[in-house]
A and B are shown apart, each in its own frame.
Chain A
Amino acid sequence: MNDHVMGWDAGAMDVRRVVHPYRVDPESVGNGTPTEKAPDPQLGTEMIPAARYYSPDYMKLEWERVWTKVWLLGGRSDDMPEPGDYICTDIGKESVLIVRQADGSIRAFPNVCLHRGNRLRPEGRGNAEKFQCMYHHWTYGLDGKLDHIPDLCTFLQGGPKDMALTALPCTEWNSFVWFSLDQDVEPFEEFIDPLKRHLEPYHPERMAWMRDITVEWDCNWKTSVDAFNETYHVQGIHPQLKWYLDDVNVQIDCYGKHSRYLIPFAAISPRVAMPSQIPPAIHEIMVHAGMDPAEYEGRVSDIRRDVQLFKREHGASQGKDYSELNDEQLTDDYHYTIFPNVSVNVHADDVMLFRQRPHASDPNKMLYDIWMFGLVPEGEEWPERVRHQHFRHGDKTIGQVLDQDAFNLPTVQTGMKSDYFPGLWIGDQELRIRHFHKVMDDYIYGPGEKGPDDL
């Protein structure tokens, strides 16, 4: 008896077993993260042109019509709790200062002095009473007002218009700060819809920084986004994960601009035979939940459900409030792509977020930010903020799984430029890739306006 997943026959895939993982009843989730399968968009089967990943023309279109039009993730709210705390973050050729104001609100400005164009601050975090340009000491307040121009009397034209840096839209949501380079950007609520209800139950404000890393990768930013938008590559590039997650019974949901997939964790892939011993990575999940794997009497196939039940029962006594999460969320990976460049794995006990940023001028390069946050149990001391690391691909390990992705992406980028590679041949397990490119099309060419000759 074969089961059907998203219109194809799971039993006809390259699998050893047909598996029916436990799923919560979508009716039972109340106000929590919805689990219901969204209707699949009809996106056809056309090839996605390879040139999108290396064409300077397309890169220019992306800059004009995507990066300067959308809401962008800037940083963490808890990195800027006090007035004068700021986050300075680069996007493409731009750099933005996001600053905590005396009244607790935040404001954002281009990180550039109106005098001769010098950057006011290097990328990073800090605290300032004012922003003084190092070059000629033009000085701006936390509110972006140009408070002082040395020798103002020597500027016959007076000071620049409004004597202030351009105010950029910015907001805080779910412990993160967001900004836009477009002063006429749509309201954030409309942009992020419907993900508020999806992501707020995880309470990332209860989680502390665990890793803060930026790696320079030799690939287009979309090459990276694509890699995290499908689980089809698990059997290829992450063979060890077949004893950790179910890469076949993955629910894909596309919503407007954004999308997600739900992967059962603490599970064995249907692509391999069920082992009788607990795999090391699942052993770790059990230990982390507070279980003793040596005491476990159930079968390996029962572990996922038993971890859920254990965490449900013991979470509160461990200082972990799982009350807004459904049982699946206690083990599984709910993975969201927040258009255009945030891939975020949300789990009951941690959040692993990737921010993919384009290079300022080269479509073959990108910045890959890894932001990891761990739940701090109630009553435990908030850990010290981890230091930000920045390095080039290959200089340091970023962990086995991400290394496997990272080492593969430059060869994808190189291969895509071949005259013999017209474009991406996408299957339905990769539906989110197709959906992502459809949203790109709508931004770049206007909704439904992409012509047959457009890239």
Chain B
Amino acid sequence: MDLGLAGKKAILVGAARGIGYSVAEVLAREGCDIALTARSEDSVKDAVASLSKYGTKVVGKPVNAKQPEAYKEWIDWAIEELDGVDILVPFTSAGGGMGSEKYWYNAFETDVMAVVRAVEGVIEKMTEQQRGSIVLLGTTSTGEAMGGPQPYNAMKASLITWGKQLALWHGKNGIRVNVVSPGPIEFEGGNWDMIKGTMEKFYASQLRQQPSGRLGRPEEVAKAIAFLASDAASWCNGSHLVVDGGFTNRTHF
């Protein structure tokens, strides 16, 4: 099956590591040009350098997505560098945390507003092109409670709702919006890598909940995202795909 990704232009926010980087790698391998960002200059440089081996155009610059003006400038720069934008996948997240009210603001700024600003930054161009595909990142922790009452889960849930609204609103302009919710994904330097080292029992309990007896790998989510981002998913719009290896119990009627 041809995904039709060759020559497409993708903007990836928060893509220097983990699932984000893995999506960049899958897309680059499929022939996409890529503009990516993350907060740390070093990690952006490293990511751009290692993605360049796939022979497409890969550009990157660090930006703090919590600073709206600089962030908007970055998105404009990315659209200009790529000469358009076909795909947007924003991965920004403040991660978990509870006990301080500040976590709500962090999650709102990073998980929600950094995504909202990315979408609003590309929507005009996509409308003008009458073509575009946006994939938002949810989490299985929206559909099933996990990790205690945290802003992370609640804020991520709002993206699933908002993603559907976007899909209906912009569908007439050839823009598709879908959401992917990964379950626990393990990679070196990721949260589950640290949990495995610091909370062995909890980690083991999560493995037992996975029918396959292991956690997911970034590329296993990345391929699902790449599919939804591609023309091969032309009839997927407003969908929410759970990619968790069977981790969650709920059925989706």
- Please determine whether A273 and B189 come into contact, CB atoms closer than 8 angstroms: yes
- Please determine whether A274 and B189 come into contact, CB atoms closer than 8 angstroms: yes
The reply to whether the CB of A242 lies closer than 8 angstroms to some CB of chain B is yes
- Please determine whether A239 and B191 come into contact, CB atoms closer than 8 angstroms: no
- Please determine whether A242 and B197 come into contact, CB atoms closer than 8 angstroms: yes
- Please determine whether B198 and A279 come into contact, CB atoms closer than 8 angstroms: yes
Q: Chain B interface mostly helix, strand, loop or mixed? A: loop
Beta-carbon contacts under 8 Å, A5-22 to B:
16
Given contacts A16-B188, A294-B97, A299-B40, contact A275 B194 (CB under 8 A): yes
- Please determine whether A243 and B198 come into contact, CB atoms closer than 8 angstroms: yes
Chain A's nearest CB lies how many Å from the CB of B23? 17
The reply to whether the CB of B96 lies closer than 8 angstroms to some CB of chain A is yes
- Please determine whether A273 and B197 come into contact, CB atoms closer than 8 angstroms: no
- Please determine whether B40 and A292 come into contact, CB atoms closer than 8 angstroms: no
Number of A-B contacts (CB under 8 A): 53
- Please determine whether B95 and A273 come into contact, CB atoms closer than 8 angstroms: no
Chain B's nearest CB lies how many Å from the CB of A269? 9
**Interface readout for B91-119 with A: 1 if CB under 8 Å, 0 if not?**
00001110111110010000000000000
Chain B positions within 8 Å of A273 at CB level? 188-189, 193
- Please determine whether A276 and B17 come into contact, CB atoms closer than 8 angstroms: yes
- Please determine whether A294 and B197 come into contact, CB atoms closer than 8 angstroms: no
Q: Which of B95, B103, B197 contacts A243 (CB 8 A)?
A: B197
The reply to whether the CB of A240 lies closer than 8 angstroms to some CB of chain B is yes
- Please determine whether A275 and B100 come into contact, CB atoms closer than 8 angstroms: no
The reply to whether the CB of B190 lies closer than 8 angstroms to some CB of chain A is yes
Chain B positions within 8 Å of A277 at CB level? 95-96, 191, 194
Tally of contact residues, B, Cβ under 8 A: 21
Q: Which of A276, A280, A292, A295 contacts B198 (CB 8 A)?
A: A280
Chain B's nearest CB lies how many Å from the CB of A37? 29
Q: Which of B17, B106, B197 contacts A239 (CB 8 A)?
A: B197
Chain A's nearest CB lies how many Å from the CB of B56? 26
Beta-carbon contacts under 8 Å, B52-107 to A:
95-97, 99-103, 106
Chain B positions within 8 Å of A274 at CB level? 189
The reply to whether the CB of A83 lies closer than 8 angstroms to some CB of chain B is no
Cα–Cα, bound, A280→B191 (Å): 11
Cα–Cα, bound, A274→B18 (Å): 12
Chain A positions within 8 Å of B189 at CB level? 272-276
Q: 22 A-B Cβ contacts within 8 A?
A: A240-B198, A240-B199, A240-B200, A242-B197, A272-B188, A272-B189, A272-B193, A272-B197, A273-B188, A274-B189, A275-B189, A275-B190, A276-B95, A276-B190, A277-B96, A277-B191, A279-B194, A279-B198, A292-B100, A294-B102, A294-B103, A294-B106
A residues bordering B, Cβ < 8 Å? 16, 239-240, 242-243, 272-277, 279-281, 292-295, 299
Q: Which 7 A-B pairs have the closest CB atoms?
A: A273-B189, A294-B102, A294-B100, A240-B198, A273-B188, A275-B194, A277-B95
B residues bordering A, Cβ < 8 Å? 17, 40, 95-97, 99-103, 106, 188-191, 193-194, 197-200
Sample of 20 further A-B pairs with CB below 8 A, known A239-B197, A240-B199, A292-B100: A240-B198, A240-B200, A243-B197, A243-B198, A272-B189, A272-B193, A272-B194, A275-B189, A275-B190, A276-B17, A276-B95, A277-B191, A279-B198, A280-B198, A294-B97, A294-B99, A294-B100, A294-B102, A294-B106, A295-B102
